[in-house]
Amino acid sequence: MVNDKMCIGVEKHRLMVRFDPALTDEVMQRPGTSPMDFTKRVMKGFLFVDAAAVADDEPLEYWLALALDYNKTAKPSRKSKP
């Protein structure tokens, strides 16, 4: 979480990245990516990146920068009522 918004995380052995949905076609061309379907449906603006695809600093830095850049304009998730 960055600025109370989902940004980046780890799920099992994959990186979860939140990004600008307008970039979907571009980012899905990068190695090791797959749609985020954590809830059995594809979530727009989220994807998984296999661990092997971020084993080096350069690709990991790309994903971190992409997520942090989008975080500046991303809307926070709706908070559930207690």
pLDDT of 54 reads 96
pLDDT of 76 reads 83
Looking at mean pLDDT, say which of 7-11, 65-69, 75-79 comes out highest: 65-69
* Percentage with pLDDT > 90 across the chain: 73
* Whether the predicted pLDDT of 80 surpasses 60: no
* Whether the predicted pLDDT of 79 surpasses 70: no
Average pLDDT over residues 31-48: 92
Q: What separation in angstroms does the CA of 29 have from each of 13, 32, 58?
A: 20, 9, 16
Distance CA 70, CA 30 (A): 18
